[in-house]
Every structure is written in structure tokens, then in C-alpha cells.
Structure 1
């Protein structure tokens, strides 16, 4: 039903990571365009209300990227058969579509929950007087120089994360969700009624227009002399920002481009092992894969510095430690997306290929990878975006040789140079959207997996 908005939400995914907090501050901050300039209000966005808005808007692309691959993989012949037998649209959705999409739904919930618990950047800039555990742990380490207390606080974050993980695994493993067999359907049946479609489409367009208005402030900020103080038109910000941020942009793009394919391929291999193979300690390993997503990035950065600052392995100050952080930190998203998609694929397809003499590498590259293409694309996209917009762990890993563009943007914002920050954010958006387009061209969908939407 919402396939027409797919491109927009991919775009929004790139926008929210690199510009969400900045755009909210520009509109609703202490000198925000809406709160201070237009409405003359004393209220600002800092605190629990602003944090909830930022977290909700910032996390839903994670859920979307996980769910879209699962929904595309559902064999619509089941829905079509139920419709031919006289089942109502709601009956089809509640008894077929929703149960079959449960692995993706629970994986999305798990990723959003763990990411929200351990989020650092949004609470640091928008939390105000509302304290969260990740920021408190960071301040204990950096502000009070009490590493032991910071580590103890970070361990508390593991309790809700592990509980959510095992609850999600318990529910998913109780049933089979296989819908992709040797004869996949080439169609997607639209089961939404016309009135419901109009309502949901209108709702989506309202959200789209709101987000366009929100993020247009980033591009407007490029041509404003000093946001919140002097709105005189100028182009000086562009030249100054590119001159001061050119090296950081190049470094960040190189590091993200190296980490993207490594994390994408590795996450699909790990997901395949988790779903298709049995080995001792698999459940423990699944929990460990999720841990980097639940631990505050600041403490991960500190742990890397402690671990790789002495012989025999010295990586501090090199590009390798930043790439390792990217891959390990963003691995859970690709793994969860791959697991949710593989849950829907019948293992007999792989068994048939093996019986015909195909080796494991051929089976994975020619059968598994094309079938889990949506999850693979999501993993590549997510890794690249998060690598380009990382904050918490990277602050401890950057060096004079390898700097990060988000730190440059953060420094400009802290010094109230919002025009310069807007320019660099806009450039980030353009780079990310370009990579998204290249991914769609390079990782093509098999013509045998193309689906058409039918009424």
C-alpha cells in the first residue's frame, strides 16, 4: 500500500541520522524559529518531551528497514487464497499477514528498544534536566574520572536489553514463519480497503510534509548568517564550512565506505549461521552479538582505547580501530534483519541445491543472498549512515590523522555557528543519498523476485 513512499522513507533514514537533533534545535530550541521568532514562546524542546519526539522520529526508520524486507518476502498467495474463500480484509490481515510478519515486528521492536536505551547523542543535546543512564555513565567516566562507576551504570543497561532479547527469541522460536518456498509468488495482493488506504495515505502525506518542513531548515540554515540572531541571506557559510570541513568529510566517507561492505556481508553470514546451523553456545553468541547495540557508545569507545593502546596490538589513532567500531557497533541491525528474513525461507531450497552438488559458498551467494536482498541492502544502508553520523564512540577514537565530520558539526553547533553546521549536514545528506542510489544499482534485485501489486 505504501510502496510509493518507500523512496521518501529511505531518504528520511539518511536525514534523521545526521540532522535530526540540529533541525529540532533550529526550530524549537531556545532561539528556535517557531518557538521564539514566530510564536514568542518561552517553551523550548529541551527535556523529556523533546527527547521523546527525537527518539520516536529517529528510531522508526530502523523498524521500517527491518519490516519492509519481511513484508516483501511474504508469499501473497496465502492472502489471495483467503480472499477467494471469502475472508474479510481485516481477517486476512489479523490471521495471515500480521502473524507471518511477527519475526520482523519483534526484531524491529528489539532494535528500537535497545537503541533507545543506549542512545547517547539525543539525550546529551536535548535531554536538558531529564537524566538518562547512558549520559550519566558518560559523565561519570569523563567528568568525574570514575571509570568503575561508569562501568557499573553501563552494566545496568544490559538487564533490560537481555530481557527483551530472550523474550523476543522465545516468541519467535515457538512457531514457523516459512513463506518463501521453491515457487515464490510474483505478486503482492493489496488487501487494504479503499477507505483505509485513503486514511493511511493521507496520514503518511501529513507526516511527509511535516518532515519536509522540519528538514528544510537544514538547507535554509546554509544561507543564514547566524540562525536565531541574524537571518540575513549569505553564501559565505558554504565556502567557510567546506574549507574547514573538507578533510573531515573525506576521512569520514572513506571510513564508512570501508566498513559498509564488511558489516553487510558479515551480518548476513552471522544471520545464516544463527538460523540454519546448530552449534554449542549459539544462544549465548546471539546475546553477545546484540550487546554492542545496548552498551553506550562512549563506554565502547573507552574500552577500545584501553584494549588497543598497548602492545601487542596498538590500534589507537589508526583507521582500523574506527572501522572495527563501525562494524561491531552496527552489526546487530543487519543480523536481526537477516534473521527475520531467513525465518521465512524454506530450507529445502538450499538442500535441493546442495543435493545437486553446489558447495556452501555457491548456495549462499546464488540462493540465500538474492532471497535476503532487502535485509542485505538495509544492513549496508544502515551501516553507512551510522558510520557517517557516529558520535559517541568515535569521539574517543578519532585522531589528528583521522577526524570525523560529526565532531566538526557538533563543534560548530556548540559555538552557535549553525550556518556552518547546516552546510556540513547538507553535504552529508547528499553523500548518503548518492550511496543509496549506487547500492540500488550495484545490488540489483533478481528478475525472478520482482513482484507487482495487484488489487
Structure 2
């Protein structure tokens, strides 16, 4: 089979990279550290094959027309066209360009999700045990939600015939409108969806802040607000910056929410999708838009690095650390509650719609007649000549999706941990380039990545199109940046003296990583596994072009139901996925556990 030959070529390339790493180590590169040399060489090769190569093939379309002629002279004019960079909405009544719309939306979504995620993390980690459990469960829900569902719930709630809209019209005489379609609706959906990602990153950083430092500030008679402002806040700056970066990039790459709610508000991700899959089918136009999106993300990454700077954020060292975390200042706690309560209320309402929608006849028309028809259509079972038959139309896509997620999640986490450890703990020539290489795949919308994989891997020597492998590879390298950033964020608070102490005892780099660093990275491992597993199940834009009849996926099935207006069946399928993902996330957390840093338990009094 072609894909087995392609796999052999990739394995052969990895073997050559391993040989090259040995030669580089003997030549004195990577400080003669064979483990780091091998990780960098092999990861660089894999990233070059499954990130740079397909994106490069796709971007060539920006300078080549359908006949193969070069269009270098007109590329600049198309890149700076008014429909991309136009600012007419600021100076007049004309619409802004798609890049301006995307920047505005991504900035608002990044700030909003980071702000709400920070408030959730403060209450979960420093607000007492009573709030911790409920906030953690509530914050996980949007992470395990399939695409389109939050958008559909918001439409059912706030659409022109939505439940809330009808109530506001009947009770207060507020005229019905379509305000939800456009920037407000997409922003609302994205903030609900992306806040848990910010929470996972920031809560892990807060958990690693040394209570000894906060206690020192209190001993010096610092007020709770002064300790929070001068000790706690500076130490979580890397996590804040990473949360904003991921929120910004997620917003740029988001496909499902704008597709459902954007209306006439055009953004880059949907514009690229329709340029490729729409009636125009202009691959060159899609490539120009992809270059625009890549430049935007690289710019945000540079600003993030400039804001964090080269300051030290270490708070966990080899010394004893058994203090109690500082309590939140009263004003900060009430401010966090004021932010969290509206988000929690909207989240509960949205999931109430999802849970009810699958067991009633038609939630969209407010027909609440109890019915299991939608579950029978998707997940029906029957007895045949050979025994139990999975007769429902959704079973095939569910089994394929779970298999893809089970394979992709651990691979993504392992590669992310190795990449983040190398970037954060070791200096070598080309480290900045290697770090950028690990993040670049997050800069491109999923629609472009899907098409790029088809273009690059549809012909020999690397022929993976139409196979199970291409879906796994796409998801692994698409989600790998989250594992890298989570690892870098956690390692920024672990003192290098831990590594040095292990090296003094003549432990190798691999042994130090496995026995010293890895146990302290459990929050980062959980964050990466949860994100990788849930996003492998909920991904749509990156895999919608890669799924086939044999290897259909849950999100592609749901997208088809949404497209034909079968909202109730889509919601019923989504509720099944939510239950499955919640169970798997809880098992991941229970199996891996939490990092224990030898601190005293907070009193519940």
C-alpha cells in the first residue's frame, strides 16, 4: 500500500536524523549532549515533513495560477487589497477588511478569555475548597464541547426567535433583532469556548507559585493587595501571556463559531474555507489569506516575548517549600466573582440547552415534547443474523474519532513535552528557529492545513491521503504547540538548580528529565493530554477535508447535520461526545494525578 511505503520513508528519514545527531554530538554540538541532539534533530525532521513541507506547498499557490504561471508581480497588490486590510468601518460606513475584522475579534477574544480564565484560576486555587470543585467541573465543560454546539446554543437562546429574545420581547417589549449574528455573537461564543484553555494554563502556574515568597511579603508587613501585586502577579506573567497568545491564535483559527454566527462579519478562517471549498475555488486567494494570518500570529508571538522579557519567574527550587498560599485580597476576590458568575450563568444555560435539546422533539422551535428519536437515529442498536448490529448512522464516525484521539493525544503530549523541555532548558544554535518551528502550525487556520495535507500527501513519495494516518498526523502536529507552551510555562517556575543537582550526581539528561523534571510537570502533562484528546475529538476545520467515508469523524458528521438543518440530531450527538470526553478527562487526571510539592493543606475553616 502507498501509505506503508510512505511510512517507511519517514522512518528511514528519522534513522538518518538519529545518525546525524550522533555525528553532531561527537563534533561538540549541543554541548556534546546526545539526548538533546537526538531530540532536536528528529523533531526538526518531523516538523519539516509534517509542518513546513505541506504549508510550503500550499503557499506556493499564492504565486502560481491554475496553469502554473508565476504571479509574483501581482501578489503584493492582492495582499494589500482593501478587502483584506481596508479600514472603511473606522472612517465611514464601508466594511473593514477581513484581516482588520480578524485582528479585532482575536484581540477581544484573547483579552476576554484570559481575563475570565484568570478569574476562574484565582477562585479555584486561592478561593477556598468550596469553590474549587464546582469551578473545575464548570471550566472543563467548554473544553469537551464539540464545535457548532455553543454557537447553536447561543442562537437558540439569543437568536431572533430565541428563548431569551422571546422572553425579553414579552416581558419588556424589546424588539427582536439579529444582533447575535456578527461580531457580538462570535465573540460571545469564543470567550465561552476559550476561557477553559486560559484557566488550565494559569491555574497550573498559580499552583506552582511558592507560598514561601508570599509569606515573606506578609512577614514584611505587606498588605494582601501589595503581596498579590508585587509577588503573585509577576510570577504568573508567563502563563498570562501564553493564555492570551493561545486565545488570540485560537480565535484566528476558529472555524465553527464564525461559520454559524458571523453573518456578514467576515473573518480569515471562513474566508479561506470558502475560497477553497466555495464556488470560486481560488487556491491562490486562500494562500494570500493564509500568509496574512501567519504574519499576524508571528507578530503576536514577538510582542508576547517582548512583554515577558528575560526576567526570571522561578518559584519552585530544590529547597523546602511547605508554606500556605496567600489568601486573595477582598477586592480581587469579589472582582473575580463578578467576572465568573456571568460566564458561569451563560455556560450553564448553554449546556442546559444542549442536554435538553437531545431528548425533546425540536428545541429550536421550542417543542419540548420528550423524545429519544434523535438518539435512535444516531446510535440505534438492533439484532441481526450475526448478533448485535450498530444500526445508527453515527456509530462509524464515533468509533473512528475515539481511535484517532486515543492515538493522537499521547503522541502530541510526548512531542510537546520534549520540545518544550529542549526550548526552555537548553541553549544551542538555532534554538529560536526550533521554537518557532514548534509553534508555526498553530498560526495557520485548520482549513488551510487540511488542504495543505491533501496537496502535499496525495502523491508519492509521501502518499497518506485517504488513510487513518493522515488524520492522526494532522492532529498531532496541529495540537503540539499547546504541549510546548504548557511545558515552557511550567518549566519557567522550576529552578535550574534541580537540573544542576542531578547533573552533579552524574545523572544523564534523559535520567534527569525522567526522574526529576517529569514528576513536577504533571499539571502541564494533564493540560496537554486534556487539550490534545478533546481537540482530537472536536477538531473540524483541520480534518473536514481529510475525512472519508471509511474514516468519517464525529465533527464532520455533526457539520453535515447542521448544514441540512438537523440541529436536534447534532445536539444529541454532541451530548454523547460530551459525556465520553468528560469521563476520559477525569480518568486522565486520576491516572496521572497532581504534582505534590510538599505543602501544607489549606484550612477549610
After alignment, is 185-194 or 114-123 more displaced?
Answer: 185-194
SS in 1 for 2:368: strand
Say whether 1:244 aligns with 2:365.
no
Residue 153 of structure 2 is matched in structure 1 by: 23
What is the TM-score with the length of structure 1 in the denominator? Answer: 0.95
Distance 1:202 1:159, change over 3 A: closer
Tell whether the 8 Å contact from 1:93 to 1:191 is kept in structure 2 after alignment: no
CA distance in 1, matches of 2:551, 2:324: 47
After alignment, is 115-124 or 91-100 more displaced?
Answer: 115-124
Q: How does 1:11-410 map to 2 (within 5 A)?
A: 11-15=141-145, 19-36=149-166, 39=169, 41-44=175-178, 45-143=180-278, 144-194=280-330, 196-198=332-334, 200-201=336-337, 203-229=339-365, 230-242=367-379, 243-410=392-559
What is the TM-score with the length of structure 2 in the denominator? Answer: 0.72
Distance 1:123 1:195, change over 3 A: closer
Tell whether the 8 Å contact from 2:211 to 2:323 is kept in structure 1 after alignment: yes
Aligned-pair CA distance for 1:397: 0.5
Distance 1:216 1:313, change over 3 A: same
CA distance in 2, matches of 1:183, 1:359: 22
Distance 1:450 1:422, change over 3 A: farther
Aligned-pair CA distance for 1:446: 4.5
CA distance in 2, matches of 1:184, 1:394: 48
SS in 1 for 2:361: strand
Aligned-pair CA distance for 1:246: 1.2
CA distance in 1, matches of 2:409, 2:169: 43
After superposition, the C-alpha distances for 1:334-373 in whole angstroms (9 at most, x for unaligned) are 1111111111111111121122232222211221111121
CA distance in 2, matches of 1:449, 1:262: 30
List, as ranges, runs of 4+ consecutive aligned residues in structure 1 with deviation greater than 4 Å. Answer: 446-451
Aligned-pair CA distance for 1:199: 5.3
Unaligned runs of at least 5 residues, structure 2: 1-121, 125-131, 380-391
CA distance in 2, matches of 1:141, 1:89: 55
CA distance in 2, matches of 1:365, 1:141: 45
CA distance in 1, matches of 2:453, 2:524: 29
Bigger Rg, structure 1 or 2:
2
Distance 1:237 1:179, change over 3 A: same
Distance 1:429 1:321, change over 3 A: same
Tell whether the 8 Å contact from 1:272 to 1:339 is kept in structure 2 after alignment: yes
Q: RMSD over aligned Cα, in angstroms?
A: 2.0
CA distance in 2, matches of 1:357, 1:397: 48
Looking at both structures, which has the greater relative contact order when contacts are Cα pairs under 8 Å and sequence separation is at least 6? 1
SS in 2 for 1:189: coil
Unaligned runs of at least 5 residues, structure 1: none
CA distance in 1, matches of 2:349, 2:378: 23
